[in-house]
C-alpha cells in the first residue's frame, strides 16, 4: 500500500465510502468490505511494521476486550460455536477504524466521498420515505407495513440509519471548504426533513438519539450553532404538526411510552421503557446475577432467556436484551461490562473538559468536527435507552464509522484542526 498509485487510492476510498449506501441494502456487502479491508490493512501493518496504529490506549483496551470475549466463547459459553460467531472476528471493527484513520491521513478526499455518499443516501431516503408515508408504498412499490421504512422494506431500521449517521454528516459538512450559500440552505433543508422523517419512521429510540445528539452538538460547538438550532426547532415544529394529523404516530411516539413507563394514567404499573423491554432487561439481569464476574458468553442471551431460571415478564426472550450494558453484564459479566463503562467514563471526562472551556471562555480542547463525531459515539454508548445487539454486524459497522474519523482527528499529526 506504500507505493499505491493515486488512481488506486481513489478506488479504495470509493469502495470504503460505498459502505454508506450498502448499509441500506443489508449487512452482507458492508461486512464484506470491512472484513476484506481489515485483512488488507493488517497485512500492510505487519509488512511495514506500522504498529503505532494499534499502540494507542483505546485500541489496546478494545483488543483486550476482543481476546476476553474469545476466551469466554471457548471456556464459558454453553454453545461455543454460536458464541464464536460474535467473538471470533469482532477485532476487525477496531482494525477497520484504524484503516479509516490511515486513509484520511493518506488522502483527505475520502472525507468528500463520505460526505457526498451521505448526502445522496439521505436525500434518496427523504424522497422515498415521504413518498411512502403519503402514498402507502415507496418508489419500488414496497408497501408501508405499519411504519415508514423506505428501501429497508420490512426491517424497521431507517430511523436508526439516519439518526446514527447524522452526526457524521454534520461533522463532514463543518470541515468542508468553500461551502456555497446554496449548499448551506440545501443542508439546512436536509436536516429539517431528516428530523421529521425519523419521527415518521416510528422508531422511538432513533428519534430519541437524534434529539440527544443534536442537543449535545448545539451545546458544545461554536460555529454553525445557530444554524443547527434553527433547523432543529423547525423540525420539531414539523413533528408536532405531524403528530396532530397522525394520532396513531403520536400515540406510538409519545403517549404509549409515557403510559408504559408510568408517567401518565398507570403510575403503579411502570416498566422499563416498555413491557417488552422490561421483560428482556429483567431477564438479562437475572442471568447476570447467576454469573456476575464472567457472564455466560457472547451471544448467549438468546439461549439463556429460554431457561425458566432467568426468564420473567410477558416476553422475556429475544436475540438480545435490547440494551448494550445489560447485554454485556449478562454475556460478559462485570469484566466485559467495564470495557463499555470505561469508554463512557472517558467520554464524560472529555465532554466536561469541553463544557468547562466554554463556561470559562478558554481554548476549547475539541473542534466542532470532533464534537459531532463524539455525538455519533454518544448514541452508541448512551446507557438509558433501548438499542440493538452489541455484536450485530450492521450496528457494529455503523457505530465504528465515527470512531475511525475521531481516532484520526486526535492522533494524526497531519490533521488540520478547522479545515481539511
282 found inside a domain: no
Grid cell listed for 189: 433543508
* Structural domain that includes position 129: 6-265+313-411
pLDDT at position 82: 94
Q: Which three cell numbers stand for residue 309?
A: 431460571
| Cα angle for residues 402, 21, 186 (degrees, 5° grid) | 80
DSSP state letters, 198-219 = HHHTT-HHHHHHHHHHHHHHHH
Is 278 a member of any domain? no
* pLDDT for 314: 83
Name the band, by pLDDT with cuts 50, 70 and 90, for residue 342: very high
Residue range 214-231, pLDDT digits in tens: 999 999 999 999 999 999
Q: Is the pLDDT of residue 341 over 60?
A: yes
The model's pLDDT over 290-336, given as tens digits with 9 standing for 90+, comes to 999 999 999 999 999 998 999 988 888 988 899 999 999 999 999 99
Number of domains in the chain: 1
Classify 137 as helix, strand or coil.
strand
Residue 3 has pLDDT above 50, yes or no: no
Indicate the range of 40-49, 195-204, 263-272, 305-314 predicted with least confidence: 263-272
Beta bridge partners of 143: 137
Q: Is residue 279 part of a domain?
A: no
Question: C-alpha cell of 89?
Answer: 472476528
Q: Give the H or E element holding residue 57.
A: helix 57-75
Assess whether pLDDT exceeds 70 at residue 386.
yes
Of 344, 168, 408, the residue nearest 352 (C-alpha): 344
Mean of per-residue pLDDT scores for the chain: 90
Residue 197: how many CB atoms within 10 A of its CB?
A: 24
DSSP E strand boundaries for 166-256: none
Q: What is the pLDDT of residue 270?
A: 63
Question: Quick one: pLDDT at residue 131?
Answer: 96
| Residue 25 domain flag | yes
172: in domain: yes
**What local confidence, expressed as pLDDT, does residue 214 receive?**
97
For 162-171, give one letter per residue: b (16+ CB within 10 A) or e.
bbbbbbbbbb
Q: How confident is the model at residue 69 (pLDDT cuts 50, 70, 90)?
A: very high
**Residue 247 maps to a domain:** yes
Contact 161, 398 (CB under 8 A): yes
- Structural domain contains residue 193: yes
In the predicted structure, residue 252 carries a pLDDT above the cut 60: yes
CB 393 within 8 A of CB 400: no
Burial of 148 by CB count in 10 Å (0-12 exposed, 13-18 middle, 19+ buried)? buried
pLDDT of residue 415: 41
Q: What is the pLDDT of residue 420?
A: 38
Q: What is the pLDDT of residues 180-203, one digit of tens each?
A: 999 999 999 999 999 999 999 999
pTM of the model: 0.92
273, part of any domain: no
Q: Could you count the other beta carbons within 10 Å of the beta carbon of residue 193?
A: 20
Amino acid at each position: 500500500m506504500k507505493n499505491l498509485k493515486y488512481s488506486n487510492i481513489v478506488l479504495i476510498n470509493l469502495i470504503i465510502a460505498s459502505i454508506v449506501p450498502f448499509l441500506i441494502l443489508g449487512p452482507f456487502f458492508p461486512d464484506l468490505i470491512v472484513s476484506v479491508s481489515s485483512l488488507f490493512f493488517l497485512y500492510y501493518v505487519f509488512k511495514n511494521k506500522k504498529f503505532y496504529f494499534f499502540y494507542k490506549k483505546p485500541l489496546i483496551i478494545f483488543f483486550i476486550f476482543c481476546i476476553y470475549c474469545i476466551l469466554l466463547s471457548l471456556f464459558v459459553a454453553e454453545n461455543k460455536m454460536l458464541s464464536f460467531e460474535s467473538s471470533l472476528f469482532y477485532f476487525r471493527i477496531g482494525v477497520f477504524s484504524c484503516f479509516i484513520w490511515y486513509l484520511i491521513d493518506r488522502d483527505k478526499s475520502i472525507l468528500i466521498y463520505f460526505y457526498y455518499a451521505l448526502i445522496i443516501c439521505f436525500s434518496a431516503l427523504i424522497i422515498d420515505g415521504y413518498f411512502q408515508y403519503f402514498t402507502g408504498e415507496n418508489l419500488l412499490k414496497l408497501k408501508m407495513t405499519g411504519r415508514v421504512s423506505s428501501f429497508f422494506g420490512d426491517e424497521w431500521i431507517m430511523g436508526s440509519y439516519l439518526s446514527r449517521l447524522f452526526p457524521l454528516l454534520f461533522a463532514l459538512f463543518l470541515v468542508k471548504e468553500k461551502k456555497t450559500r446554496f449548499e448551506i440552505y440545501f443542508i439546512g433543508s436536509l436536516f429539517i426533513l431528516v428530523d421529521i422523517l425519523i419521527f415518521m419512521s416510528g422508531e422511538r429510540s432513533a428519534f430519541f438519539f437524534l434529539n440527544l445528539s443534536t442537543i449535545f452538538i448545539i451545546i458544545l460547538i461554536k460555529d454553525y450553532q445557530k444554524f443547527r438550532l434553527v433547523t432543529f426547532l423547525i423540525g420539531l415544529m414539523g413533528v408536532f404538526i405531524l403528530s396532530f394529523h397522525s394520532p396513531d404516530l403520536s400515540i406510538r411516539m409519545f403517549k404509549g411510552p409515557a403510559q408504559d413507563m408510568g408517567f401518565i394514567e398507570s403510575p403503579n404499573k411502570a416498566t422499563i421503557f416498555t413491557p417488552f423491554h422490561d421483560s428482556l432487561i429483567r431477564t438479562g439481569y437475572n442471568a447476570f446475577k447467576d454469573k456476575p464476574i464472567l457472564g455466560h458468553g457472547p451471544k448467549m442471551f438468546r439461549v439463556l432467556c429460554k431457561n425458566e431460571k432467568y426468564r420473567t415478564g410477558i416476553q422475556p426472550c429475544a436475540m438480545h436484551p435490547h440494551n448494550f450494558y445489560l447485554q454485556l453484564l449478562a454475556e460478559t459479566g462485570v469484566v466485559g461490562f467495564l470495557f463499555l463503562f470505561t469508554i463512557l467514563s472517558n467520554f464524560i471526562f472529555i465532554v466536561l473538559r469541553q463544557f468547562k472551556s466554554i463556561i470559562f471562555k478558554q481554548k476549547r480542547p475539541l473542534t466542532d468536527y470532533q464534537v459531532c463525531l463524539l455525538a455519533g459515539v454518544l448514541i452508541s454508548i448512551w446507557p438509558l435507552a433501548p438499542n440493538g445487539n452489541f455484536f450485530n454486524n450492521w450496528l457494529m459497522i455503523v457505530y465504528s464509522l465515527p470512531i475511525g474519523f475521531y481516532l484520526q482527528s486526535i492522533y494524526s499529526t497531519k490533521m488540520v484542526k478547522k479545515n481539511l
